[in-house]
Amino acid sequence: MNDPAGAPALSEIAIKPLKHVNGAAHRWVAFIVMVAFFALAPTFIYPVFLMKVMCFALFACAFNLLLGYVGLLSFGHAMFLGIAGYAAAYVAKEGLNIEAIRLGTIHIPLNIALPPFTPELAILTGVLAAAILGYVAGLLAIRRQGIYFAMITLALAQMVYFFCLQAPFTGGEDGIQAVPRGKLFGVIDLSDVKAMYATVFVIFIGGFLVIFRIIHSPFGQVMKAIRENEPRATSLGYDTDRYKLIAFVLSATLAGLAGATNALVFQLAALNAVHWTMSGEVVLMTLVGGLGTVFGPVVGVLAVLGMENYLAQLGAWVTIVQGAIFVICVLTFRRGIVGELARWIKKPL
């Protein structure tokens, strides 16, 4: 098991499965608190900041699905966030115009000319792009374990970064700017902040519930078995590589959903979303919140982004404060905020 938070963390918060029916109550409470918070918060917190929080919370939850429940540390998850953002931003702004594909001397005329996509189709395009990238990256990365897995994902993410820097349609250093939010299903105008907020809210809660279900499915049980003891899972007849690949693609897809939504919120796809520091930040957010807990990543994102936002006047000091908090987190509360809370109430969260 290679979770950096250490083995004891999970042991003490581990769950008693048969008591799910009764023991699920506190989770419902936590879920309702979370939903109520994001539903009511825009009345007293800047909504655009909250939309960023929800996008990143979904991103961190997708990352946690892989690290917290399969034990795979991907150090290149920004590539899925970023590529989905670029894909969604591009089709939302430019549509899709491909006259022909040229492969050497082969010339395949396509004559695709689609007008700018509506937001739901743009997001779908972004999600699809992340899923495909996730499949390719997953095929390569899951052949190795531990630190090698992390390094391969990092290397692939760097390749994606340079692709986004150099490719003709990503706008290089400028990114894709002034992306129109468009009209959802051709009806609801998302340039209205309330409509945009509601859309992001639905996507976040939907994504969160999907992740919750994946964790608590028969597939999720096998994921945890692989996290706990991969050779043993193999010896029980599970083809662990296939489970890991599917988990990887699911995680990439959901990260893509976060990235595409984020691009629409900020009407921008830029290089910072594919940069390796973004991959690092999601690790930080997940660890601060609580690795391998359902609600941890959400709390972690709120904490980290909250610091960035409200301590912004400190300038470069924000990074130092963040670093210090990360060190304190690793030294004193290794289970993360939610992890410690769960241990305190002796229930999984």
Partner 1 sequence: MTDDYVLETRELTKEFKGFVAVNKVNLKVRRGTIHALIGPNGAGKTTCFNLLTQFLPPTRGRIFYKAKEITGSKPSAIARMGLVRSFQISAVFPHLSVLENVRLALQRKRGGSFDFWRSERILNALDDRARELIASVGLSEFEQTIAVELPYGRKRALEIATTLALDPEVMLLDEPTAGMTHEDVGRISALIRRVAQNRTVLMVEHNLSVVADLCDHITVLARGEILAEGDYATVSRNPEVVQAYMGKGYA
Binding site for partner 1 (CB under 8 A): 1, 7, 10-11, 14-20, 213-214, 216-222, 224-225, 228-229, 231-240, 242-243, 246, 250
Write down the least CB distance from residue 291 to partner 1, Å. Answer: 13
Write down the least CB distance from residue 237 to partner 1, Å. Answer: 4
Residue placing its CB nearer to partner 1 in the complex, 11 or 277: 11
Residue placing its CB nearer to partner 1 in the complex, 1 or 100: 1
Can you say whether residue 183 is alpha, beta or left, with left for phi > 0 and alpha for psi between -120 and 50 degrees? Answer: beta
Write down the least CB distance from residue 320 to partner 1, Å. Answer: 35
256 touches 134 (CB < 8 A): yes
Other Cβ atoms less than 10 A from the Cβ of 168: the count is 6
Torsions phi, psi for 178 (to 5 deg)? 50, 45
The structure tokens 């115009």 sit at 97
Write down the least CB distance from residue 290 to partner 1, Å. Answer: 15
Residue placing its CB nearer to partner 1 in the complex, 190 or 225: 225
Residue placing its CB nearer to partner 1 in the complex, 20 or 194: 20
Distance CA 189, CA 271 (A): 27
Residue placing its CB nearer to partner 1 in the complex, 177 or 217: 217
Q: Are strands 183-184 and 106-114 parallel, antiparallel or unpaired?
A: unpaired
Residue placing its CB nearer to partner 1 in the complex, 111 or 235: 235
Write down the least CB distance from residue 219 to partner 1, Å. Answer: 4
Residue placing its CB nearer to partner 1 in the complex, 113 or 209: 209
Count Cβ neighbours within 10 Å for each residue of 259-278 and write b for 16 or more, e otherwise.
Answer: bbbbbbbbbbbbbebbbeeb
Write down the least CB distance from residue 127 to partner 1, Å. Answer: 16
With helix as H, strand as E and coil as C, how does 266-335 read? HCCECHHHCCHHHHHHHHHHHHHHCCCCCCHHHHHHHHHHHHHHHCHHHCCHHHHHHHHHHHHHHHHCCC
Residue placing its CB nearer to partner 1 in the complex, 194 or 232: 232
Count Cβ neighbours within 10 Å for each residue of 184-213 and write b for 16 or more, e otherwise.
Answer: beeeeebeeeebbbbbbbebbbebbebbbe
With helix as H, strand as E and coil as C, how does 199-231 read? HHHHHHHHHHHHHHHHHCCHHHHHHHHHHHCHH
Write down the least CB distance from residue 7 to partner 1, Å. Answer: 7
Write down the least CB distance from residue 54 to partner 1, Å. Answer: 23
Q: Largest Cα–Cα distance of the chain, in whole Å? A: 67
